[in-house]
Structure 1
Amino acid sequence: MFQALRTARRRISDLDHALVRRCAALPKSVADPALRNLSTLANHSKLWFALAGGLALRKGPTRRAALRGVAAIAASSSTTNLLAKQLLPRRRPATDLLPAHRRLMSPPASSSFPSGHAASAAAFTTALCMESPLLAAAVAPVAAAVAYSRVHTGVHWPTDVAVGAAVGCGIGLATRWWWPVRPATPALARPSERVAALTGGNGLGLLINPSSGDSDPSSALADLWPGAEVLHPDPGGDLVEQLHLELDAAGDTIRALAVAGGDGTVAAAASVAGVRGLPLAVVPSGTLNHFARDVGVTSAQDSDRALTAGSAVHVDLGAVSVDGEPERWFVNTASLGGYPDMVRMREKWEQRWGKWPAGAAALVRVLAEAEPIEVRIDGAHRKIWLLFVGANSYQPKGFAPTWRPHLDDGMLDIRYVRADLPLSRIRFAFAALTGALFNSHTYVQQERQSAHVEVLGERVALACDGEVMPPGRTFNFTAHDEALRVYRPEHPAE
């Protein structure tokens, strides 16, 4: 066996030297300084981090691709520099193998095997491909040039680059284990046959939350739907009650309701539309727009096409009654525990730091200071860190709930993290980091049509679609099958 290994190593070395000689024989050209500068620019992944920063400015798949790419770079750099280079040391090519004008001013002194530059380039490009294949296709030539530049400048053997690229591709693909890729297609739902077909906004009641998202869509929607009746509820009052009052005053002139805002505003409009039997058009103008993405509406133009065609689908809604009060509807999720605290902290800090930095800081703070909640869930006594309830079944299973394959399955997705097991917080964190939540006893996931949760200690707050409600002790969750009709184009955007 050792003889076979020595033979294989000698053949690899012979191949490397042959390829380097071929590279050295290439004539001098303008590509030499360009590749040298590109190789230097990619040091410590500066090139990829800069590109990711630019991509993150745009919402949607572009931002998700940038975040996944940064995560892949971090993992690949750790694997190559902290693990592989230490365990598999190898001399770099001799300086006299290549012409002097190609060499780097400050060549690296670490192990040659494998190429960290090639690993980071491949990891970043592979991660981009999972979120946006077109974006990855544009970046791939640059990534390939960075990888080749390490051979062209004489700091790596060709097999160093090949193995580094293979490691990077593998790590880029492995991010799916911790961060599943959201499907490009919208959630399935049963088409509706009885909705009003409206043009120019005639017969449409329009609710706009100008403070949602990054810009106020009022002027654009006024141009798109000049015939719509804009509703003006008081921001400080109960939005649901005010919408009912305004619709009562409008009488029969409003045949459908449209809402532009985040998921909290959409949930309020959905509850009113569901009770009144009005179809709902959604304009994604909030920060996350989970509901609009699941429905398959990516812009006001999508909703306008659906309104004009009278195309809609049936959608389930979730509802919760707190301490016997009237039900509060939610379109996405409700939660107890750390999430409401995180929302409050985020709202407190976001004016100074911005929503995303404030949200990240709030999450770290909550995880560090969380206290368990003693509850009974359908009669079973538990201590939990947090409780999640989703309207419809969420995917992926055994991981952070991200999307819904169906909007009309008539079920609640109930998940909670147990705090009554030894070292539960550490076990949960380890399972989450290793992608093994589905097999962890600390993580419970069930699907039901209803659930009763009784808090045995102090009253706790509930968050519905990101909005924090007054605290309570008893929470009755119910799934309402096909409670709402939502406008969606016959061929939703993918």
Structure 2
Amino acid sequence: MTAWDPARARRLLPPVEEAAEHTKLWRAAAVILAAAGGWRGRRAATAGIAAMAAAELLSNGVAKQLVERRRPPKEWVPDDEVEDRPYSSSFPSGHTAAAVAFSAAVAPTWPLAGAACALPAALVAVRRVHSGAHYSSDVAAGAALGLVAAALARATPHLLISASTRSGPGEHRAPALGWKITQTRPALLHQRRRPHGLTPPLLRAPTGRSETALAGVFHGFALPRPPLLGASG
């Protein structure tokens, strides 16, 4: 593709690539979306910026540090393009990752705007190969990372909302065993009730010394002492 050099490509591709340097093109698109698109535009711009940041982190901060790949040979590149190539790893294409991430994150919220952003994103990807800055596989890997970053940017708010809903303010965070015991305690007490008319031994008035001592022990607990049903008024 580096040998493909029609006049239209020379006029169109370099300005698009220059606009995409340092994400200037996508930041400008985000400002336009937020200013002219209302709530939908602001939502799309936020998703696009978040996805683009994630794509740059994945491509430049992670993938390029893990994979060291030299740029295409200088013989493949026109003389005026050789000095403009960066010295970092060729794999993957960070420009393509950012462009695809922004476009893919905008499209679900505003399909028309996403389609409009996809055109310059495709031109950026073609230009990175045409200028000899990347191999075609570098651009393909960058596009894949851009799609992953867009999916993460779109899914993260929903995950955070779900997590906050499951653990809202004031929720009881007792361990599972203690919570189960707390919940079943009324049922256990209900099961221990005696039929009407039958008085358990501890509920009768203490008549002897041993029963008086046992009643004193029972009274030492934090629970309230039950009424002495057998005592006369």
TM range (shorter): 0.5 to 0.7
- Matched to 1:112, the amino acid is S
Task: Give, in whole Å, the separation in 1 of the partners of 2:54 and 2:170.
Answer: 27
Deviation at 1:176, TM superposition (A): 2.6
Larger RCO (CA within 8 A; separation ≥ 6): 2
- Matched to 2:132, the amino acid is G
Structure 1 residues 147 and 419, CA gap change in structure 2 (3 angstroms): farther
Structure 1 residues 156 and 419, CA gap change in structure 2 (3 angstroms): farther
Q: Is the 8 A contact 1:80 1:114 kept in 2?
A: yes
Q: Which runs of 5+ in 1 are unaligned?
A: 1-22, 182-394, 401-412, 422-494
Alignment of 1:29-428 (within 5 A): 29-58=7-36, 59-101=38-80, 103=81, 106-180=84-158, 397-399=162-164, 415-416=168-169
Deviation at 1:108, TM superposition (A): 0.7
More strand by share: 1
Task: Give, in whole Å, the separation in 1 of the partners of 2:137 and 2:105.
Answer: 23
Deviation at 1:65, TM superposition (A): 0.4
Question: What TM-score comes out, normalization by structure 1 length?
Answer: 0.33
Structure 1 residues 137 and 110, CA gap change in structure 2 (3 angstroms): same
Deviation at 1:94, TM superposition (A): 1.5
Equivalent residue, structure 2, for 1:361: none
Equivalent residue, structure 1, for 2:225: none
More helix by share: 2
Q: Is the 8 A contact 1:77 1:116 kept in 2?
A: yes
Q: Is the 8 A contact 1:93 1:155 kept in 2?
A: yes
Task: Give, in whole Å, the separation in 2 of the partners of 1:73 and 1:144.
Answer: 15
Equivalent residue, structure 2, for 1:432: none
Q: Is the 8 A contact 1:72 1:127 kept in 2?
A: yes
Deviation at 1:109, TM superposition (A): 0.7
Counting aligned pairs with the same residue, the percent is 39
Equivalent residue, structure 1, for 2:224: none
Q: Is the 8 A contact 1:68 1:128 kept in 2?
A: yes
Q: Is the 8 A contact 1:65 1:132 kept in 2?
A: yes
Structure 1 residues 398 and 110, CA gap change in structure 2 (3 angstroms): same
Task: Give, in whole Å, the separation in 1 of the partners of 2:128 and 2:74.
Answer: 13
Deviation at 1:104, TM superposition (A): 6.1
Task: Describe the SS at the equivalent of 2:124.
Answer: helix
The CA deviation string for residues 135-172 of structure 1, in whole angstroms up to 9 with x for no partner, is 11111111110111100111000000001001101110
The CA deviation string for residues 214-262 of structure 1, in whole angstroms up to 9 with x for no partner, is xxxxxxxxxxxxxxxxxxxxxxxxxxxxxxxxxxxxxxxxxxxxxxxxx
Q: Is the 8 A contact 2:2 2:132 kept in 1?
A: no
Equivalent residue, structure 2, for 1:26: 4
Deviation at 1:396, TM superposition (A): 5.1
Deviation at 1:399, TM superposition (A): 4.3
Task: Describe the SS at the equivalent of 1:42.
Answer: helix
Structure 1 residues 91 and 54, CA gap change in structure 2 (3 angstroms): same
Structure 1 residues 89 and 414, CA gap change in structure 2 (3 angstroms): closer
The CA deviation string for residues 193-229 of structure 1, in whole angstroms up to 9 with x for no partner, is xxxxxxxxxxxxxxxxxxxxxxxxxxxxxxxxxxxxx
Task: Give, in whole Å, the separation in 1 of the partners of 2:2 and 2:125.
Answer: 16
- Matched to 1:129, the amino acid is A
Q: Is the 8 A contact 2:3 2:76 kept in 1?
A: no
Q: Is the 8 A contact 2:96 2:125 kept in 1?
A: yes
Task: Describe the SS at the equivalent of 2:90.
Answer: coil
Q: Which runs of 5+ in 2 are unaligned?
A: 175-233
Task: Describe the SS at the equivalent of 2:169.
Answer: strand
Q: Is the 8 A contact 2:105 2:154 kept in 1?
A: no
Deviation at 1:24, TM superposition (A): 3.2
Q: Which runs of 4+ in 1 moved over 6 A?
A: 417-421
Q: Is the 8 A contact 2:55 2:98 kept in 1?
A: yes
Q: Is the 8 A contact 1:36 1:104 kept in 2?
A: no
Deviation at 1:56, TM superposition (A): 1.2
Structure 1 residues 157 and 64, CA gap change in structure 2 (3 angstroms): same
Q: Is the 8 A contact 1:85 1:112 kept in 2?
A: yes
Task: Describe the SS at the equivalent of 2:35.
Answer: coil
Size of the alignment, in residue pairs?
173
